Structure 1
Amino acid sequence: MKPIYKGLLVLVAALFAAAGVSAQNADRILGTYKAVEEGKESKVEFTRRADGSYRGQIVWLKNPDNPDGTPKLDEKNPDKSKRSVRADRVVVVDGVKYDAAKGVWNGGRVYDPTKGKSYKVEVSFEDERTLRVRGSLLGFSRSVYWTKVE
């Protein structure tokens, strides 16, 4: 084999290896996280969508029912078609993709069901088990921290 072909083969192998590492880093977000905000406790599960983006959906809420026993709903959602979604099934992070150069997931939105508002989002790890979710609007931002439980 000519040296130029060997070099090309090594380069192609390196690119495939780098792509594999990037995919592993991107999938690091997968799992379930405990979130405690303003006294409300929930668990959010991150999954990968068919288009390669990631979403975080509430899968457990400490108090999912109203005092009368009916399930709490996403009543403040600006999309009227989503107001009948149970509060323990609301998608709170959607459309984020992994940016390997920055080591963050961004490009999507974070939704605050207590206010019915959504914001640009950037998600990153503070440490092995702590996810930082930073929402921003008009130059102002706020971060919340979720702990990986599964």
Structure 2
Amino acid sequence: MKKLVILFLFGLWLNVASAQNAKNITGIWWNDEKTSKIEVIEKDGHYFGTIVYMIPEKYEDGQPPKDDENPDPALRDRSIVGLQILSGLKFNNKDKEWEDGRIYDPKSGKTYDCFGWFEEGNLDKLFLKGYVVGIKWLGKSTEWTRTSLN
């Protein structure tokens, strides 16, 4: 019985540790160019990122830029601020990375499969890689830096 209790407690600890690792991706991030801040949240075990801030220098006539490269003409008039650009990432505890996500690039209007990870011991730099046709090495990486909304 004692072994069963110890095994149960160890399993519970592993579950909590895994959930904490998965949530490391949440927060506010500067994009690689430091022009936009993206808020990453968790919903039902998946992670989503929305542009919540853009530097004023990118505004046109006092308005944030539009999604004018979107392949859908009906969406080209929407604001970049408030746009969800990251979706569906889920944490792979074995590989210690987030996978099976999608990332949208408003500059090109293209959406890519993506995954993300942290380098060893540094939770302030998030690496994301967008790729096409399921070939991870055939893609482009970006580095986001943890920040705050203010």
Q: Tell me if both proteins adopt one fold, taking TM over 0.5 as the criterion.
A: yes
Q: TM-score with structure 1 length normalisation?
A: 0.85
* Distance in 2 separating the partners of 1:71 and 1:33: 18
2:84 pairs with one of 88, 91, 104 = 91
**Deviation of 1:34 (Å):** 0.9
1:94 partner SS: strand
Aligned positions of 1:50-129 closer than 5 A: 51-62=44-55, 63-66=57-60, 68-79=61-72, 82-126=75-119, 127-129=122-124
- The yes-or-no answer on 1:13 pairing with 2:9 is yes
Q: 1:94 to 1:79 in 2, by over 3 A?
A: farther
**Deviation of 1:21 (Å):** 0.4
1:141 pairs with one of 139, 143, 148 = 139
* Distance in 2 separating the partners of 1:149 and 1:24: 19
Report what 2:36 is aligned to.
42
Q: TM-score with structure 2 length normalisation?
A: 0.85
**Deviation of 1:65 (Å):** 2.7
**Deviation of 1:92 (Å):** 1.3
- The yes-or-no answer on 1:132 pairing with 2:127 is yes
CA contact (8 A) 2:32 2:145 kept: no
CA contact (8 A) 1:108 1:121 kept: yes
Q: 1:13 to 1:77 in 2, by over 3 A?
A: same
**Deviation of 1:74 (Å):** 1.6
Name the Cα RMSD after superposition: 1.8
* Distance in 2 separating the partners of 1:131 and 1:46: 11
CA contact (8 A) 1:64 1:87 kept: no
CA contact (8 A) 1:64 1:88 kept: no
For the pair shown, the structure with the greater C-alpha radius of gyration is 1
Q: 1:137 to 1:6 in 2, by over 3 A?
A: same
Counting aligned pairs with the same residue, the percent is 33
CA contact (8 A) 1:32 1:46 kept: yes
Q: 1:135 to 1:9 in 2, by over 3 A?
A: same
**Deviation of 1:6 (Å):** 1.9
**Deviation of 1:54 (Å):** 0.6
2:20 partner SS: helix
